[in-house]
Amino acid sequence: MKKSEIREMIREEVKKLNEAHWHPKDNILDNITFEELITTVESNEKIIDEKSITKVFDDLMKAKISEAKFSFKQNSSKILKYINSENF
């Protein structure tokens, strides 16, 4: 899986979350599986070693954190409303 494909996949997931009804049990940060890491390394790296695996892992983490921050910003008013309501 290419980095651009991963970013697009994450953006689509965030878009779906933002369009759906927000719930306090929704994930802020989605997981990364070992399988996803392995597939991404195999698809994008010419030389596969510890350095390339670490690089891909770091890139995946940066992308996930970026999307989580975006989702947080999109939902911060809903979070505040929830905290200030009787539901908390």
67-82 mean pLDDT: 89
Average predicted confidence (pLDDT) for the chain: 86
Provide the pLDDT for residue 17.
63
Burial bucket for residue 13 (CB in 10 Å: 0-12, 13-18, 19+): middle
User: Which pLDDT score is estimated for 3?
Assistant: 79
Q: Let me know if 27 is exposed, middle or buried by CB neighbors in 10 A (0-12, 13-18, 19+).
A: exposed
**How far is it, in rounded angstroms, from Cα 24 to Cα 83?**
10
pTM for the model stands at: 0.67
List phi, psi (to 5°) of 28.
-90, -40
> What's the pLDDT at 63?
92
pLDDT at 54: 97
CA angle 11, 66, 8 (to 5 degrees): 25
Write down the domain spans for the chain: 3-84
pLDDT in tens, 18-58: 556 777 888 888 889 999 999 999 999 999 999 999 999 99
Tokens of 1: 């899986």
pLDDT exceeds cutoff 60 at 65? yes
